[in-house]
Amino acid sequence: MGDIFADDLPALQVVVPLVTAPLCLVLARWWRIVWAMCTLSTWTSLAIAISLLQTVLADGTVSYAMGGWAAPWGIEYRIDTMNAYVALIVTGIASIVLPYAYRSAPLYLQKDRVSLFFALMMLCLTGLLGMTVTGDAFNVFVFLEISSLSMYGLISLGQDRRALTAAFQYLVMGTIGGTFVLLGIGFLYVVTGTLNMADLAQRLPEVTQLRTLHTAFAFLVVGIGLKLAMFPLHLWLPNAYAYAPSAATVFIAATATKVAVYILLRFVFTVIGPDIAYGDLPFGEIAMGLAVLGLLSGSFVAIFQQNIKRMLAYSSVAQIGYILLGISYATVTGVEASLLHLFNHALMKSALFMAMGCFFYRLRSSRLEDFAGIGRIMPWTFAAFVMGGLSLIGVPLTVGFISKWYLVLASLQEGHWILAILILAGSLLAVIYIWRVVEAGWFASPSERAARAREAPLSMLIPLWIIVLANIYFGINTRLTVGVAELAAQALIGGAP
């Protein structure tokens, strides 16, 4: 039975959640069944992602011809180490968020809307996984829009009416970003006549001097930059993360920007090639400047936020800065650090946002003043939040330390010791904003809301602590993450698609 499906795993990676989404609508009246089905579907996706990663590590790149049409003409799904790694992050987070959403999602949704929430989650997962596994440039755009459209819907389901305006703002900026990507892909098609990424990579060196190619690259970087919240294109992110429903925030914050970073890496290194991006065009310098601005301003603004979800959202802008900084070096260690931080940031941000969801479940607020004294009333949730915060700061024995370590290493290798200092300064700013929450939670006397709260339900605490323990496990045992990230970075810099 397993052998029948083994060849189709790349397609099934996308098809499984895609088929689940409409089934959610058919069974919409029984949201518990819908939830069970979606959980099963994400676990299946995770199993597929693990199996694909094993195959890729053992036998090398997997190429799958959609519908049996051979590569440059048909749509190809192409999975190498980096894809499989990103797919593992996305499906892994989804598998933990879904059980968590059982209590979190129905909190302020009407009974008949809960199934729609899960349907949107599945569509979002489909889009993100599609972007990850596809080897076709136009397919990237289509899946990008599938994930974006479902994300707008998810964000607008938040309790506060500001969720609506946040979703609208994201829709306008996201659509401009998506259309820029479409334009960029169109220009690439004009100069090469192909949409297959591997084929593009082969043909583009013949036309390196054309201005069309340079324009295409600019459109792609700005378009993808909007999606990954590259400073100063991050304006949609704080409100979207702050007002989306808890489970949706966890999922979006941990996966959506990560997949956008993957797409950026794919276009810069595999399709366009580092020679053009870093040689003919000043991508490295621009990315480095924006990364530093992003990581400093994001951390700095986070310090002054009164809404803790918003604070964590600004911290995400800063973390994107770290990831971009690693990419801007264009060295194996730099890209490896970025790929590591993709994984590690997904872990720490999902831990923090999950803890926030638990607080919100009891407090119905994510404002700092309502957090006073919560550490003694919800000790398990608060301990998880502190662990996530330590990981965000980059304390040894957590995942945050590993990626910061490699990032500083990459900076020093390139002789950028000022940047290494700035990375550490960013960590110090993180200490300040995490400390504000810890101080309120542990040392202040309970607020009115906190006094009425009690510990979060087990079905939310267990997923939360699984993520927290993963934060520690992958901070100690780095064989999987560092090993895979190194292989992926070498493949990227080596130029082999």
Residues at the contact surface with another protein, assessed by CB under 8 A:
138, 141-142, 145, 149, 152-153, 156, 161-162, 164-169, 171-172, 175-176, 178-179, 182-183, 186, 189-190, 195, 239, 243
Pair 94, 255: CB distance under 8 Å: yes
Angle between helices 81-104 and 111-133 (to 10 degrees): 170
Pair 125, 45: CB distance under 8 Å: yes
Nearer to another protein, 47 or 142 (CB): 142
Which tokens in the block code for residue 482? Answer: 């560092």
The letter for the amino acid at 386 is V
- Rounded least distance, CB 162 to another protein, Å: 5
- In our burial notation (b when 16+ CB lie closer than 10 A, e otherwise), range 427-449 reads bebbbebbebbbebbeebebbeb
Nearer to another protein, 191 or 491 (CB): 191
State the Cα–Cα distance between residues 17 and 123, nearest whole angstrom: 7
Beta bridge mates, 307: 367
Nearer to another protein, 178 or 446 (CB): 178
- Rounded least distance, CB 242 to another protein, Å: 8
- Rounded least distance, CB 97 to another protein, Å: 22
Pair 17, 41: CB distance under 8 Å: yes
The letter for the amino acid at 455 is E
Phi, psi of 90 (to 5 degrees): -65, -50
- Rounded least distance, CB 337 to another protein, Å: 34
Nearer to another protein, 153 or 375 (CB): 153
Q: 């299946």: which residue's tokens?
A: 44
- Rounded least distance, CB 174 to another protein, Å: 9
- Rounded least distance, CB 385 to another protein, Å: 24
Residue 364 — left, alpha, or beta (φ > 0 → left; ψ -120 to 50 → alpha)? left
Pair 447, 370: CB distance under 8 Å: yes
Nearer to another protein, 180 or 262 (CB): 180
- Rounded least distance, CB 491 to another protein, Å: 29
Nearer to another protein, 275 or 369 (CB): 369
Nearer to another protein, 148 or 411 (CB): 148
